[in-house]
Amino acid sequence: MSRAGEVALGVIGTILNVILLVIVTFSVVAVGNADPVELKQVFEEQMAADATMTPEDIAMVNDAFDVILDVFGIVGWVLVVTLLISVILSIIAVVKVSKNKSPKAAGILFIFAGFLSGILLLAPILFYIAAIMCFVRKAPVQYEQDPYYNNEVEHTNPPHQPL
């Protein structure tokens, strides 16, 4: 049985995951390499232009800015790792389903890859559709011993003998 649909959905989802992985990695590296003092100065200049901001508000926003940068670095690297695991799982699933050896295992891997790559993105939706296709599509049953279903078996006895 051809599993071209599952393979196509898996490959497209994997490509989308790789693109997202590259974007997130560059973002995390860029924020990690940015100078926080310089960013704070630019941010303070913009806040100082606003007449409604008091010095206490500016100090509170600066403290929050430090926390946000730290959290973005940690969460960003966790996201990079989960996306990398998702890409690996999706590649394994595509290989399993393309060889048509174990489509059920490929479906499970597609589900895990979709879960790790996010909830509402396009790639996980494609992985979920491919997983459903892996679970639902069944290989046609072939009867090897029955000569009526197997056209390759030579009939040695004619079906009817005249009396």
pTM for the whole structure? 0.72
With respect to residue 62, please indicate whether it lies within any of the assigned structural domains.
no
With respect to residue 155, please indicate whether it lies within any of the assigned structural domains.
no
* SS3 letters across the chain: CCCHHHHHHHHHHHHHHHHHHHHHHHHHHHHHHCCHHHHHHHHHHHHHHCCCCCHHHHHHHHHHHHHHHHHHHHHHHHHHHHHHHHHHHHHHHHHHHHCCCCHHHHHHHHHHHHHHHCCCCHHHHHHHHHHHHHHHCCCCCCCCCCCCCCCCCCCCCCCCCCC
With respect to residue 159, please indicate whether it lies within any of the assigned structural domains.
no
With respect to residue 55, please indicate whether it lies within any of the assigned structural domains.
no
Phi first, then psi, for residue 106 (nearest 5°) are: -65, -40
Average pLDDT on 106-114 reads: 93
Average pLDDT on 25-37 reads: 86
**Which stretch, 91-100, 114-123, 138-147, 151-160, has highest mean pLDDT?**
91-100
Angle between helices 55-98 and 103-117 (to 10 degrees): 170
77-107 pLDDT per residue, tens? 999 999 999 999 999 999 999 888 888 999 9
Instruction: Work out the number of other CB atoms within 10 angstroms of the CB of residue 70.
Output: 11
Is residue 41 very low, low, confident or very high in pLDDT (cuts 50, 70, 90)?
confident
35-39, 69-73, 81-85, 107-111: which has the minimum mean pLDDT? 35-39
pLDDT above 70 (res 159) = no
Predicted local confidence at residue 113, as pLDDT: 93
Q: Which domain holds residue 81?
A: 4-33+72-136
Average pLDDT on 98-124 reads: 88
Predicted local confidence at residue 66, as pLDDT: 80
Structural domain count of the chain = 1
Q: Tell me the C-alpha to C-alpha distance, in Å, between residue 4 and each of 53, 79, 141.
A: 59, 30, 19
Q: Give 43 or 135, the one with higher predicted confidence.
A: 135
With respect to residue 144, please indicate whether it lies within any of the assigned structural domains.
no
With respect to residue 11, please indicate whether it lies within any of the assigned structural domains.
yes
Is residue 151 very low, low, confident or very high in pLDDT (cuts 50, 70, 90)?
low
Phi first, then psi, for residue 50 (nearest 5°) are: -80, 120
pLDDT above 80 (res 58) = no
With respect to residue 81, please indicate whether it lies within any of the assigned structural domains.
yes
Predicted local confidence at residue 29, as pLDDT: 92
